[in-house]
Amino acid sequence: MKLDDIKISKAIIEEYMDELVDHLDVDVAIGGGGPSGLAAGYYLSKAGFKVSLFERKLSIGGGMWGGGMMFNKIVVQEAGREILEGEFGVDCREHENGYYVADSIEATSTICSKACKAGVKIFNLISIEDVMIRDERITGLVINWAAVEMAGLHIDPLTIRSRAVIDATGHDCEIVKVVEDKMGPRLMTETGRIMGEKPMWADKGEASLLENTREVYPNLFVAGMASNAVHGSHRMGPIFGGMLLSGRRVAELIMEKLG
Ligand code: 48H
Ligand code: FE2
Which amino acid does the sequence have at 178? V
Cα–Cα distance measured from residue 224 to residue 56, given in angstroms and rounded to the nearest whole number: 17
Q: Is 25 annotated as a binding residue?
A: no
Question: Contact 177/214 with Cβ under 8 angstroms?
Answer: no
3-class DSSP assignment, residue 185: coil
The predicted structure's pLDDT at residue 139: 98
Q: Is 133 annotated as a binding residue?
A: no
Cβ–ligand 1 distance for 227 under 6 Å, the answer no
The residue whose CB lies within 8 Å of the most ligand 1 atoms, and thus the one to mutate among 38, 43, 52, 55, is: 55
Sign of CA dihedral 225, 164, 129, 60: positive
Ligand 1 atom nearest to 240, measured from its CA: 20
36-89 per-position pLDDT tens digit: 999 999 999 999 999 999 999 999 999 999 999 999 999 999 999 999 999 999
Q: Where are the alpha helices (DSSP H) in the chain?
A: 5-22, 35-46, 78-81, 104-118, 146-151, 174-183, 202-212, 225-231, 241-258
How far out from the chain centre does Cα 28 lie? Answer: 11
Cβ–ligand 1 distance for 170 under 6 Å, the answer yes
In this prediction the pTM is 0.98
Cα–Cα distance measured from residue 176 to residue 250, given in angstroms and rounded to the nearest whole number: 15
What is the rounded average pLDDT for all residues in the chain? 98
The predicted structure's pLDDT at residue 140: 98
Q: Is 186 annotated as a binding residue?
A: no
The predicted structure's pLDDT at residue 15: 98
ipTM for the predicted complex: 0.99
Domains in the chain: ranges and CATH? 27-64+105-258 (3.50.50.60)
Crossing angle between the packed helical segments 35-46 and 241-258, to the nearest 10 degrees: 40
Listed as ranges, residues in the chain with pLDDT below 50 are: none
The residue whose CB lies within 8 Å of the most ligand 1 atoms, and thus the one to mutate among 128, 169, 201, 212, is: 169
Q: Given the DSSP bridges, would you call strands 158-167 and 137-145 parallel, antiparallel or unpaired?
A: antiparallel
Which residue's CA is the closest to the ligand 1 atom numbered 38? Answer: 128
The predicted structure's pLDDT at residue 220: 99
Cβ–ligand 1 distance for 31 under 6 Å, the answer yes
The predicted structure's pLDDT at residue 191: 98
Interior/surface letters 194-233, b for 16+ CB within 10 angstroms, e for the rest: bbebbeeebebbbebbbebbbbbbebbbbbbbbbbbbbbb
The residue whose CB lies within 8 Å of the most ligand 1 atoms, and thus the one to mutate among 59, 70, 243, is: 243
Kindly state the greatest CA–CA separation across the chain.
65
Q: Given the DSSP bridges, would you call strands 99-103 and 121-124 parallel, antiparallel or unpaired?
A: unpaired
